[in-house]
Amino acid sequence: MRYIEFNLIEEYKKFITEYPKQNEDCFRKKVLLPELKKCIKERKILKINVGTQPISYLFLDKIFADLMRKDKIWYGILLIHFNFEGDEKIIQDILEMLAKTEQELEFAEMEKLTLKERLFGLLPTTLQYLIKDFKKYLKARKEGRKMIVPPEIASYRMEQCNKCEHLNPSILGKRCKICGCFLKLKTPLSFEECIDVNNVRWGEWREDENKETI
């Protein structure tokens, strides 16, 4: 990869002189980010001289952290396209800050996912499966799949369910004790499947397949 020289301190001083009412966030958006994107596009390395002055500490951490937080630029991309020069202590602080920011972002994503799963888990089990089934329906429709299976496939599915220990022959009709679905409604739908993790009896069906996929 080729290098592009970039003196961070000098460029920042020049920017503030030209735009005295702007701050480091504007510098990141208008100067540093465009240079970085240019390097990524042209497969070059931005050789950044961070200088040796204490002024670096006033904005470096925020600028580089925001490249990850606000601009959604991955940690590995930054390491590939940045080459730091200057005070070793400042460079080490930047690298440690980047690694710390990556951990924070990963943790925040995990927390968000955990919260979403936690809220979903508060719903009644049957409702959870209905939501999942609706999502599968939308996906199948988007793919242009046939929604209803041939009669012989539906009959095969029902036969398998009739042999299952989780069958619930209720007054309203045969139901699955695991998902709560009425089997007369579930078995004809191509995107449905047996959800017994210990013994999957039948899977989704596609029009171009001659047998069930499990």
pLDDT tens, residue by residue, 49-93:
777 765 555 567 777 788 888 888 888 888 888 888 888 887 888
Residue type, 36: L
Q: How far apart are CA 168 and CA 126, in angstroms?
A: 14
Q: How far apart are CA 52 and CA 100, in angstroms?
A: 23
DSSP string, 34-85: HHHHHHHHHTEEEEEE--SSGGGGGTHHHHHHHHHHTS---HHHHHHHEEEE
pLDDT tens column, 95-136: 888 888 888 887 777 777 666 666 666 677 777 778 888 888
The pTM of this model reads 0.45
